[in-house]
Amino acid sequence: MTRTITPRLRTLVLLCLAVLGALLAGAGPASAHAALTGSDPAQGVVADKAPTQVSLTFSEKVAMSDDSVRVLDPRGKPVQTGSPANVSGTTYAVKLKSGLAKGTYTVTYQVVSADSHPVAGAYTFSIGAPSQTVVSGTGPAAGGGVVGGLYAFGRYASYAGFIVLAGGAAFVLACWQRGAGVRALQRLVVGGWVTLAAATLWLLLLRGAYTTSGKFADVFDLDLLGQVLQTKTGAALVSRLLLLAAAALFVAVLFGAYTRREDDAERRDLTFGLAVGGVVVAAGLASSWAMAEHASTGLQPGLAMPVDVVHLLAVAAWLGGLTALLVALYRAPADTPVEAAAVRRFSRVAFGSVLALVATGVYQSWRQLGSWSAFTDTRYGQLLLVKIGLVAALVGIAAVSRRWTGRLTDPVARTGKARKARAEKGRTQAGNAAGAEPGRAEKEQVPAAKATGKGSAGGKGGAADKDTGAGAADSRRAAQLARQRAATDAARQKRLRDADPNRFGLRRSVLAEAGVALVLLAVTTALTQTEPGRTEQEAKAATSRSAGTGTSATSGALTLDMPFDTGGTDGKGVVSIDLDPAGVGANEMHVYVQRPNGRAFDVPEVKVSFTQEAKKIGPLPVNPDHITTGHWSASGVQIPMAGDWKIAVTVRTSDIDQVTVSKNAQIG
C-alpha cells in the first residue's frame, strides 16, 4: 500500500509547493494596506520657495520610526531634521533644514499599516526649477526580496500548522475517539504543533527585517527584535507562543492519559474537559491572527475580529479534520480501521463548518471589498474569486465523498469473530504440535541408548543437552510461526479493508479534497498579504493613481495609462505617463510601471518619445531616470508647440523582450 500511495502524496506536496511558489514569486513587495492619499508639497510640484516641512497623508493610521520619512536633495543627501510626527489624524510631517537650494528633491517613506503590513514608496517635488538628480533606487524594499518571500512562507506554515493541530485534535475528540491511540494521527497533530511553533518563532525573528530594511542580516538584530516586541504584531506572536504551551499540555493529555482511560464515566468527563479546553486554546490561537491583521482595522473591528476567529476555527475543523481523515484512511493500522460511523460524524462536522464559512465569508467579503466592481478591479477581489471557486470545487468533491460515506460499511468488524476463531485454532494446533515434540524425542532417545550400550552419566548428560537444544529451536520456530501468522493476519485484514469499493472510493475523493485544500490554503495566505479591495478603491478615489504603486498622486495636467505585453515571461503590465503642466515649454514627466495586479514593476529599461505627425516633428526621445521601484522621472521635457502629440513608451522586460505602446494626447 505504501508504494501505491507515496507517489500520490508526493504529487500533492509538489503541487502545493508549485502553487505557493507561483504566488510568492510574482508577489514582490507586500501590497500596501495603507495608501498614501496626499502630500505637501505634492508630487511634481515646483514650489517658489523652500518648504519648512514635508507632510504625508495616509488612508489610515500608520506606525513610524525615526527614519520612516527621508527627504533627499538632488545629490542624494538627507535634508530632514528630527523624527516624523503625527500632526493630525492620518497626516505625518517631518521638518526640513533651512536654506534649501533650488532643484528636485526626493521624498521616500516606509511605514507599517494598522494591519501589520509594510508600506513604502517615493515621489519628487522641486524648488525653484526642476533639476537632474543622482538619487536612484531610494525606495525601501519593505516586505520584498528574500525576507519577504521567507515571511510569506512562514505565514503559510503557521496557517497550515494551526489547521492540522486544531482540526486533527477536533477530529479525534468529536469523530473518532479510538484514533487517539493511532500512532499516525498522533504524529500528525504533534507535527501541526511543531510547525506552528517553529513558524511563529520564524515570523518573530523575521518581522524586524520584513518591515524595515528587507535585509536578511537584520534578522539577527536584537534591537530590531526588541522594537518588534513592542508592536501589536509582536504581542500577537508572543501570545501565540504562550498559548502553544497550553496546547502542548492539551496534546499530551489527549494522546496520553486519555488513551489509558477505560472507565466510561471517567472517559466522558475527560472528553468534556478536553473539548472545553481545546476550544478555548484554539480560539485563543485564532485570535492571535485576528488581533493583528485585516480584522483589527477598517470597518467594524469589534465585530470583525470575533467573526474572523469563527472563520479560522471553521477552516481548521473542516480542512484539518479532512487531513486527519485522510491519514486515518491510509495510515491507520489494519486492526484499528476508521469506522463508518466516525466518517459520518466528520461529514456532519464538515457540513456545519461549511455553513459557518459561508456566513462569515460573506461578511468578510462585504467588509473588505465594499462594491461588486472590486471583485474584478482589484487584486484582492480577483484572489477572492479564485478562493470562492476553490471552495466551490472542494464542496463539490465533498458531496462525492458524502455519497461514498453513505454506502460505507465496516467489513473488518463483521469478520472479526471469524478471524479470531481462525487465530485461536492456529494457536491450538501449534501448541499440540509443540506438545508432541517431546514424545517423539523420547522415543528417538531409546534406540540411541541401546545402540551405545552405555548407561553412564555422560550419556545422560549428552541426551539432556540435545533435549535443551531441541527445546530452544522449537521455541524459536514457534515464535517465528507466530510472527508469520500475525503478518499474514494483518495482510488479510488490509486486503479485507481495501476490498470494499466504497472505502476505496472514499479514500480517492478525500485525497482529491486534500489536494484542493492545499491550493486553497496558498490562495488564502496570499489574500492576507493583499490590500483589501475597499482600501484600494478608496485610495483610487482620493488620488488619480492606484495605491499599488506606493506613491502619491501627481498634480500633472495629463495622465495616460497604456497596457503592454512584451510576450516574454512576466511581460505584462501597465505603463502610466504623468506630464506636468502638459504645455508648451519645459514639463515634468513621471513614468510608472505596474504589474497587472497593480504592484510596482521594476523593468530593466523604459524609453519615451514624442511625435507630432501632422507637423512631422519628432520623434523627440526622452530617457527618464530611475527613481525607485517602478518609477522613472525626467525634468525639463521640452514640447516645442501645441497640438496632438503621439506619446510612445518602449518597455523592455528582459534582454530580448520589449514592446512599444503609444497614445495620442492634446498638449498645450
What confidence tens digit (pLDDT) does each residue in 293-341 have? 777 776 787 888 999 999 999 999 988 998 998 888 888 887 778 888 8
- The mean per-residue pLDDT over the stretch 639-656 comes to 86
Residue 459, domain member (yes or no): no
pLDDT at 501: 67
How far is residue 478's CA from residue 433's CA, in Å, rounded to a whole number?
10
**Are residues 249 and 317 located together in one domain of the fold?**
yes
How far is residue 63's CA from residue 212's CA, in Å, rounded to a whole number?
12
**Are residues 254 and 361 located together in one domain of the fold?**
yes
The better pLDDT of the pair 576, 497 is held by 576
**Are residues 293 and 321 located together in one domain of the fold?**
yes
pTM above 0.95, yes or no: no
Report how far Cα 659 is from the mean position of its chain's Cα atoms: 35
Percentage of residues in the chain having pLDDT higher than 70: 75
Residue 472, domain member (yes or no): yes
**Are residues 201 and 292 located together in one domain of the fold?**
yes
| Highest mean pLDDT pick, 269-278, 383-392, 490-499, 617-626 | 269-278
Percentage of residues in the chain having pLDDT higher than 90: 17
Residue 549, domain member (yes or no): no
> Are residues 626 and 663 in contact, defined by beta-carbon separation less than 8 angstroms?
no
How far is residue 351's CA from residue 646's CA, in Å, rounded to a whole number?
59
pLDDT band at 502 (very low <50, low <70, confident <90, very high): low
Residue 655, domain member (yes or no): yes
- Largest distance between two CA atoms of the chain: 137
> Are residues 354 and 394 in contact, defined by beta-carbon separation less than 8 angstroms?
no
Give every CB contact of residue 531 below 8 A, 6+ residues apart in sequence: 31, 32, 33, 35, 117, 378, 379, 380, 547, 548
What confidence tens digit (pLDDT) does each residue in 565-581 have? 888 788 888 998 888 88
What confidence tens digit (pLDDT) does each residue in 110-135 have? 888 766 677 777 788 888 888 776 56
pLDDT at 433: 46
pLDDT at 540: 59
- The mean per-residue pLDDT over the stretch 163-179 comes to 92
Question: Which of these, 150, 140, 285, lies nearest to 206 by C-alpha position?
Answer: 150
The better pLDDT of the pair 282, 645 is held by 282
pLDDT at 500: 61
**Are residues 346 and 419 located together in one domain of the fold?**
no
pLDDT at 12: 52
Give every CB contact of residue 417 below 8 A, 6+ residues apart in sequence: none
> Are residues 615 and 643 in contact, defined by beta-carbon separation less than 8 angstroms?
yes
**Are residues 352 and 432 located together in one domain of the fold?**
no
Residue 541, domain member (yes or no): no
Number of domains in the chain: 4
**Are residues 482 and 522 located together in one domain of the fold?**
no
Is pLDDT above 50 for 48? Answer: yes
Is pLDDT above 70 for 447? Answer: no
How far is residue 426's CA from residue 488's CA, in Å, rounded to a whole number?
12
pLDDT at 457: 45
Residue 223, domain member (yes or no): yes
Question: Which of these, 5, 111, 9, 121, lies nearest to 60 by C-alpha position?
Answer: 111
Quick check: helix, strand or coil at residue 570? coil
**Are residues 427 and 396 located together in one domain of the fold?**
no
Per-position DSSP letters for 481-548, written without gaps between them: HHHHHHHHHHHHHHHHHHT-HHHHHHHHHHHHHHHHHHHHHHHHHHHHTS--HHHHHHHHHHSSS-GG
Is pLDDT above 50 for 343? Answer: yes
Mean pLDDT across the chain, nearest whole number?
Answer: 77
pLDDT band at 61 (very low <50, low <70, confident <90, very high): confident
**Are residues 183 and 290 located together in one domain of the fold?**
yes
**Are residues 151 and 200 located together in one domain of the fold?**
yes
For 420, other C-beta atoms within 10 Å of its C-beta total: 11
> Are residues 185 and 179 in contact, defined by beta-carbon separation less than 8 angstroms?
yes
Question: Which of these, 380, 254, 335, 292, lies nearest to 116 by C-alpha position?
Answer: 292
pLDDT band at 445 (very low <50, low <70, confident <90, very high): very low
**Given 127, 155, 188, which residue is the final one in a domain?**
127
Per-position DSSP letters for 17-32, written without gaps between them: HHHHHHHHHTT-SPPP
203 exposure class (CB count in 10 Å sphere: 0-12, 13-18, 19+)? buried
pLDDT at 389: 87
pLDDT at 18: 47
The sign one gets for the Cα dihedral 375, 381, 383, 388 is: negative
- The mean per-residue pLDDT over the stretch 518-527 comes to 77
Residue 134, domain member (yes or no): no
pLDDT at 193: 96
Determine the structural domain holding residue 224 and report its residue range: 2-28+145-409+500-535
How far is residue 469's CA from residue 598's CA, in Å, rounded to a whole number?
83
**Are residues 16 and 72 located together in one domain of the fold?**
no
The CATH number assigned to the domain holding 639 equals 2.60.40.1930
What confidence tens digit (pLDDT) does each residue in 389-441 have? 888 888 888 777 777 766 666 554 444 444 444 445 455 544 544 444 444 44
> Are residues 379 and 530 in contact, defined by beta-carbon separation less than 8 angstroms?
yes
Residue 646, domain member (yes or no): yes
**Are residues 189 and 288 located together in one domain of the fold?**
yes
